[in-house]
Chain A
Amino acid sequence: MHKIESKNVNFYYGTNQALKDISLSIEKNTVTALIGPSGCGKSTYLRLFNRMNDLIDNTKLEGQILIDGVDIYAKSTNVDTLRKNVGMVFQKPNPFPKTIFENVAYGLRVNGVTDKKFIEERVINSIQQVALWDEVKDKLKKSAFELSGGQQQRLCIARALAIQPSVILMDEPTSALDPISTAKIEELVYELKDKYTIVIVTHNMQQAGRISDTTGFFYMGELIEFDQTKNIFTNPKEERTQNYITGRFG
């Protein structure tokens, strides 16, 4: 069974069709990169996997998206449970106006966990997973805003990990960061692959090449090509893909 499956997905903002007939499948414990020019629908597509687009008025979805074989848009699906299972990391670091500790504990608390010991273990564990522990262990009670941008982004990843999702969505997670922080996050993504299935949107071709197993190229709401990353970058079947990755447009 595929981890994620998308079947003939169409998506509309009002009358404007943002996604056209997207079908693909993503395997467990892989990193999938979504690339394409600005406005082609990458974020829109990514946000379908945790039903983030539900929050926008006047949208419509056709087709099916399955995670672990379950239709996530089915009536019987509980959105809370889905979002617990599918974590998300955003373009800009967006910690909450809380302490470092409380940021990571947030997902547990809102999902009804009250056991103090358990929360503490989870928080420490998640911060360790993103290799942030040594940097923050003495200031867990300090505001998360006191961290650097790169640290904040790793904290946001830790925050997503704390509720133990099986899928992690990342929308251009390094676009607001400096090269060193970027490298750290890339390394982290590579390590997280053992435990999680990761889908990442990126504008950075090298990044896609370095960290992903599979790559999907979007263009004007369509999925032009979806293949092993090495194939996409060395031997694309479509001319438009070729043009994009060699930087001729976009």
Chain B
Amino acid sequence: MNTQIKLILKRYCSDRTRLLDILWDLQGLYGYFPEAVVTQLSESLNMSANDIYGVISFYHFFHDRPTGRYKIYLSDTVIARMNGYEEVRTALEQEANCHFGGTDETGTFSLFYTNCIGLSDQEPAMLIDDVVFTQLSPGKVRVILSQLRQNKTPAEIVNPEGLPSSELAYVERLVKSNIRHKGAVFFKKINHRVLLDKCLNQLPEHIVENMIASHIRGRGGAGFPTGLKWQLCRDVEAEDKVVICNADEGEPGTFKDRVLLTHSPRDVFVGMIIAGHAIGSNYGLLYLRAEYRYLKDYLEYQLQQLRTEGLLGIDFDIRIQMGAGAYVCGDETALIESCEGKRGVPRVKPPFPIQNGYLGRPTNVNNVETFAAVTTIMERGAQWYRSMGTKESSGTRLLSVSGDCAQPGIYEVEWGITLGEILDMVGAQDASAVQVSGPSGECVSVAKDAERELCYDDLSCNGSFMIFDQRQDLLRVVQEFMRFFVDESCGICVPCRVGNVELLRKVDRLIDGKGCQKDLDDLVSWGKLLRATSRCGLGTTSAKPILTTLDTFPGIYQNILTRKQGTLLASFDLKEALPDGGRFREE
């Protein structure tokens, strides 16, 4: 066997649950997965080659065919499309001399579309391998590609000073953090050593009680009470338990976890250590989305620092698990499957992760922001935390604000703030619609909903806050969101796999001007089907872009309906249906 492959396998003890890491290293070596390599892998891991291809082909950033020397992934989002995406896209094709999905003749560039890469405050943006380029323009694209042609590496282009990738300065050279408004909880100076000394000397029960008393709820979207989750996980009797930090941040429009990991990585890691103590676990994983690979060295260095300081590595250690490009892996059970080196398919529940999670162990999954908040709560106290926000939604939360506003970026707000107040704060006087919580959330009308409060009982928010003014075509936004769900459905269950395609086709038809009232009725009833019968949160929420805009902006649909003419459906194109486009008959 090839010695390099042997070395990689040895690094991971030929453990098939580390398949994602093995694949990342192999792709680093070969650029893609040659058949011979997969064959060798399959022998060493006792898996069939198809089984391995099954994993490779699940993830967006793994390639089973050769690509160009540079893999360019352009972030295709509604926000990018509001900021010159199309011009950048064209410039890329011209400059690379190939189309998206292909490679140029010289084998230098491959172009790929990719869904939101967590940079909605500085779109258009793209990844070249694992280096990120933001605020693109056609001119900028031309300069970057010509430098690549002159054999400069992507890192050398963004970082001419050669800052080490383990430093904050390197990350800041690549992306802006745009922290616009700080509140009471995040980005604080904390003495982590003193805090950890204090926490680890407390009884685990006390910490859990503290979390329960603070009323904090998970920031990943579902809003599950964190204290209760820890309590349940603590109550399970088992030798090995696991703490996982969910840094998949795949919801289009969110980027707050990126900024937390950039400026407060220690708050996040210390939050995980505290959780470990509370539930009785000595092992933590940070699941980092592939789009954030440029943060990996920096985060590894931060972990190493914590180990050097004796805060990590003795009773509790943390490993970074790289994802490989799949929104659905944000679902905690899909994330666990992915951590185990498999296709990121959501599990059948029950059992829940707190009973049976990573490698069968009780596992507590929390969002990045949840862990960062935990650290401050332990520093300042549960009552202090609870004094902010509303009765049911305590504390503050980070908003990732993007779209039509003066100051896109990160805002820390107290729960209970109204939609109108947020829009004032971010400079969005002309806003007419806001997509709260991304595609899986709600599209609200500024005219009708300005008084609504951001909180779990009213306008729940996972951090994504995309603003649209009158100029934006909301139906196109809906279409983009539906395309996103079609792209990202794992396909394991029928309603989501089949239904999203049908919903998207209906929206396409409406935009084509061929839709009638029956299409709207179908959208509602099929949307309900997905909502009720899908296996995971992706399918249960994917119809929401349609259902919520039908509710708040019925006009955008009603105005483009056609009426049935004669006996034919509006959507029926006689010419198209006939062979030869109907020419035969006309002649």
Do A and B originate from a single complex?
Answer: no
B residues adjacent to A (C-beta < 8 A):
none
